[in-house]
Structures are given as structure tokens and as C-alpha cells.
């Protein structure tokens, strides 16, 4: 493994993609929460399962390439990778919410559940990323 490949070691690319996705999704969820009482506001979200499938396919391609090079996420309908490593989210209206008389499709319980799940994914990915970084730092310092 060359020094260029160090950032791809141990799933760092997939953890970074997960952190970036969860961070951007958190902004979307916060926007939905902030506008929960706004008349005619329609909540938007992106599919986490679609992103997980997209990430899984990128990991499979990375493995097929003998783990060489960066993780190559292909664009999907909802998540488009940008050259700087972030994502452009194209959210959809979640189905199953109740439309109230003010035409708002609010569902506070679902929003709180989405927020909690998203924070859990974000914190887990951050903890794993930190653990891998500490391990890499220790190996580079020859203290294993």
C-alpha cells in the first residue's frame, strides 16, 4: 500500500461517505423540523436504504479493483457525489404522512425517529473513523 492508499485503508472511504451523507441528511431533517408548523410545507427526505445500496455497490467495485484507488460512488436518483467528496441530495416527499387541513404533511414522531437514527449512524461512523485514524497514527509512529 502506498502513502496515497492510506486513506482507503480499513474502510476509511466508506466511513467518510457515510459521515458526509448523514451530515447532509441531518440538515434536511432539521429543516423539516424547523418548518413543521409552516402551512403548505411538504417534508422532504432521502432514502437511507438507497444510499446504503449505492455505497455497497461502490465497495464491491472497490474490492473488484483489488482495493486500489478511491471509493467510486455512482450517482443515483437521490444522491449525487460531487468532485469535492460531498453529495448533492435530491430529496423526495416521504409517503405515508398525513396531510393536514393546512396541506402540511407533518409527522413529528417520524421526524424524531429519523433524527435519532441519523445521529446514531453519524456518531457510529465518526467513532469508527476516529478508531481507524488512531490505529493508523499509532502504526505510523511505530508504536504497535
Q: What is the mean pLDDT of residues 79-95?
A: 87
- Range(s) of the domain holding residue 118: 3-140
| DSSP string computed for 63-104 | HHTTT-S---PPP-SSEEE-TTS-EEE--BPPTTPPP-TTS-
Triad 78, 5, 88: Cα angle to 5° = 15
Phi-psi region of 69 (alpha: psi -120 to 50; beta: other; left: phi over 0): left
pLDDT class for 119, splitting at 50, 70, 90? very high
Q: What is the per-residue pLDDT across 14-32, written as a single tens digit (0 to 9) for each?
A: 999 999 999 999 999 999 9
Q: What is the mean pLDDT of residues 120-139?
A: 91
Q: What is the per-residue pLDDT across 32-74, written as a single tens digit (0 to 9) for each?
A: 999 888 888 888 899 999 999 999 999 898 888 877 777 888 9
Q: How many folded domains does the chain comprise? A: 1
Residues 88, 80 contacting (CB under 8 angstroms): yes
Give 45's strand partners. Answer: 92
Percent of the chain with pLDDT over 90: 44
Triad 125, 128, 133: Cα angle to 5° = 120
Percent of the chain with pLDDT over 70: 84
User: Considering the entire predicted model, what is its pTM?
Assistant: 0.82
Amino acid at each position: 500500500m502506498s502513502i496515497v492508499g492510506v486513506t482507503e485503508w480499513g474502510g476509511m472511504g466508506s466511513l467518510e461517505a457515510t459521515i458526509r451523507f448523514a451530515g447532509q441528511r441531518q440538515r434536511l431533517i432539521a429543516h423539516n423540523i424547523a418548518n413543521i408548523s409552516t402551512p403548505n410545507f411538504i417534508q422532504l427526505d432521502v432514502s437511507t436504504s438507497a444510499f446504503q445500496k449505492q455505497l455497497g455497490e461502490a465497495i464491491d467495485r472497490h474490492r473488484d479493483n483489488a482495493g486500489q484507488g478511491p471509493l467510486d460512488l455512482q450517482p443515483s436518483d437521490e444522491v449525487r457525489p460531487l468532485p469535492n467528496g460531498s453529495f448533492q441530495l435530491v430529496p423526495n416527499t416521504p409517503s405515508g404522512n398525513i396531510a393536514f387541513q393546512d396541506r402540511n404533511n407533518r409527522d413529528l414522531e417520524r421526524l424524531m425517529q429519523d433524527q435519532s437514527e441519523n445521529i446514531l449512524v453519524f456518531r457510529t461512523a465518526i467513532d469508527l473513523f476516529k478508531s481507524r485514524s488512531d490505529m493508523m497514527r499509532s502504526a505510523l509512529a511505530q508504536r504497535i
